[in-house]
Amino acid sequence: MITKERAQYILDVFKSLKILVIGDVMLDHYLFGNVERISPEAPVPVVEAMSEEYRLGGAANVANNLASLNVNTYICGIVGDDQANKILSSKLKESNIENLNIISHKPTIQKTRIIASHQQLLRIDWEDKTPFSDFNKIINNTPKNIDGIIVSDYAKGTITKELTKYLVKHYDFVAADPKPAHKEFYKNMTLITPNEKEAKGMYKEEDINILGKSLKQELNLKYLAITLGPKGVAFFEDSAVHTYKSVAREVYDVTGAGDTFIATIVASLLAGAKTFEACDLANIAAGIVVSKIGSATTNYQEILENVSNC
């Protein structure tokens, strides 16, 4: 495991990094309430609303995780000229994230979750998954003097093969949180971070070691990290595979854990961490956020406290 001193050094380097997140930007809307009865109109619970909250979601949650770790963070995605984007833009400003989003005819993606007694009862999505055809608008909004790019692909239309091909050609470090249907988009990337289900959707093989080595070779990746939930992460580099265990903790909500993982591992690698150190820090960070409700982030102090407890 990584030492506290080494973790502190790596985390301190984060504030000198510049990382751009490109992907499917979302606004997460939470309605919190209590359930004490069933509706007489239909066999469904009646939620007595107590409060509501807006959070950055999707690619914006990846950016929020980076910003919470003191990384100089940029975000570029597709949004609408609507109230959801006004709220989203305000949240990005609050988090000190440079907003490079492009306003289009598509609505801002918004997900409303209704939660009672720490349980999600229902989710409502507003979205248009039509592919965004004018990738040059994204390219023109992409700064040149950055250390790395994270492609946050939720298959909502922002990420295309043409776009990722350009990014890989023009930037030294490009990582992706992938979707299996877009496997060809990720060729020649530095790193991709699928979960176990996504990895098996990209390559039909049950054995994780064989799967990872085959997928890494097929896509010509420098690194491949397959997240395994409570079992940790299988990390592939060169011809070797290493498994790093997660720290045991109570899980309340896995929403956004993949966002936290890729934000932390990319920042760590760019900060000069060894691969085992980057995996340890990313595992710790993801473990912290699953103990929170909804799309959440962690920070410098929380990670250091959990390193010392390992």
Q: What is the pLDDT of residues 202-221, one digit of tens each?
A: 999 999 999 999 999 999 99
Instruction: Average the pLDDT over 248-273 and give the result.
Output: 80
More reliable by pLDDT, 190 or 258: 190
Mean pLDDT of the chain: 92
| Overall pTM > 0.85 | yes
Assign domain 4-27+56-111+128-308 to a CATH class. Answer: alpha beta
Rounding to the nearest 10 degrees, give the CA dihedral for residues 251, 254, 256, 261. Answer: 70
- Alpha helices (runs of H) in the chain, residue ranges in sequence order: 4-13, 59-68, 83-94, 135-140, 161-170, 196-202, 208-219, 257-270, 275-289, 300-308
Give the span between the Cα atoms of 89 and 98, in whole angstroms: 10
Instruction: Average the pLDDT over 112-140 and give the result.
Output: 92
More reliable by pLDDT, 141 or 98: 98
Q: Which residues belong to the active site? A: 259
| Res. 119 pLDDT band, cuts 50 70 90 | confident
Cβ atoms of residues 231 and 222 within 8 Å: no
Give the span between the Cα atoms of 63 and 199, in whole angstroms: 23
Nearest one of 250, 246, 240, 238 to 279, comparing CA atoms: 246
- Residue 254, pLDDT above cutoff 70: no
Per-residue model confidence (pLDDT) at position 306: 87
Write down the domain spans for the chain: 4-27+56-111+128-308
Residue 247 buriedness (CB in 10 A; 0-12 / 13-18 / 19+): middle
- Alpha helices (runs of H) in 69-107, residue ranges in sequence order: 83-94
| CA 293 to the chain's CA centroid | 16
pLDDT digits (tens, 9 = 90+) for 55-85: 999 999 999 999 999 999 999 999 999 999 9
| Res. 293 pLDDT band, cuts 50 70 90 | low
Residues 6+ apart with CB under 8 A from 208: 196, 199, 226, 228, 234
Cβ atoms of residues 105 and 77 within 8 Å: no
- Residue 102, pLDDT above cutoff 90: yes
Cβ atoms of residues 235 and 225 within 8 Å: yes
